[in-house]
Chain A
Amino acid sequence: GNSVTQMEGPVTLSEEAFLTINCTYTATGYPSLFWYVQYPGEGLQLLLKATKADDKGSNKGFEATYRKETTSFHLEKGSVQVSDSAVYFCALSDQGGGNKLTFGTGTQLKVEL
């Protein structure tokens, strides 16, 4: 079955540091890939997505590239802010644009001044 593996947290960074959160997946065919963000006390919000190999999703300074050869979708940001502190979830949906999402375990990011 499908699975998503992401790096364990918490990840603690200083403001303006570079961020990478690793995500790898196991799935048949060409799933769609997502990053969701959960701010404290809130539900999940879609941060970015990519639907085919080599696509780059981007939003709010975050980027992730769909790498089929390494089955990865690593999240990056060049300069994090305190307001980026949240839990980040990598997820996939089945090839063909199915609705079901398979999530990773989440990575907590703490950004300090």
Chain B
Amino acid sequence: EAQVTQNPRYLITVTGKKLTVTCSQNMNHEYMSWYRQDPGLGLRQIYYSMNVEVTDKGDVPEGYKVSRKEKRNFPLILESPSPNQTSLYFCASSFSSGREKTQYFGPGTRLLVL
């Protein structure tokens, strides 16, 4: 089954404790992206990657890091989480060329930073 998976689905942590949220897709997509969803703000892009070893900032990158060492994986790293990073996070993937660029989303990771 074609899908985007994220782990963990739920996470409670404390300020300053480094964490990683994993994202993996099995559709051979070049493009991957992270979004955060906050009430009244919709989804905002954090980082994206056009292909392996190619990453770039989205609209709200402060406090986050990403890496793209393999095509299927795109982890989101919070080196020193703060309470304002409490949010619902989504990973998405799609092809980066050609006509079909529909983005497929993971199930989400709900993060609470105390």
Q: Mark contacts of A71-113 with chain B using CB atoms, 8 A cut-off: 1 yes-contact digit, 0 otherwise.
A: 0000000000000000001000100010111011110000000
Interface-forming stretch among B12-20, B41-49, B79-87?
Answer: B41-49
- How many pairs of A and B residues are in contact by the CB < 8 Å rule? 49
Q: Say whether, besides A97-B99, A99-B96, A45 and B105 are in contact (CB < 8 Å).
A: yes
Are A105 and B41 in contact (CB-based, < 8 A)?
A: yes
A27-49 interface bits toward B, Cβ cutoff 8 Å, 1 = contact, 0 = none: 00000000010000011111001
Interface of B (DSSP majority class): strand
Interface size on A, residues (CB 8 A): 18
Using known A-B contacts A46-B102, A97-B101, determine if residue A105 contacts B107 with beta carbons closer than 8 Å. Answer: no
Report how many residues on chain B are interfacial, defined by Cβ distance under 8 Å: 26
Question: Once bound together, how far apart are the Cα atoms of A36 and B108, in whole Å?
Answer: 15
Given contacts A46-B103, A99-B101, contact A89 B43 (CB under 8 A): yes
Interface residues of B (CB under 8 A from A): 4, 31, 33, 35, 40-45, 48, 50, 58, 90, 92, 94, 96, 99, 101-108
13 of the cross-chain contacts (CB-CB < 8 Å) are A43-B4, A43-B105, A44-B43, A89-B43, A97-B99, A97-B101, A99-B31, A101-B92, A103-B35, A103-B42, A104-B42, A105-B41, A105-B42
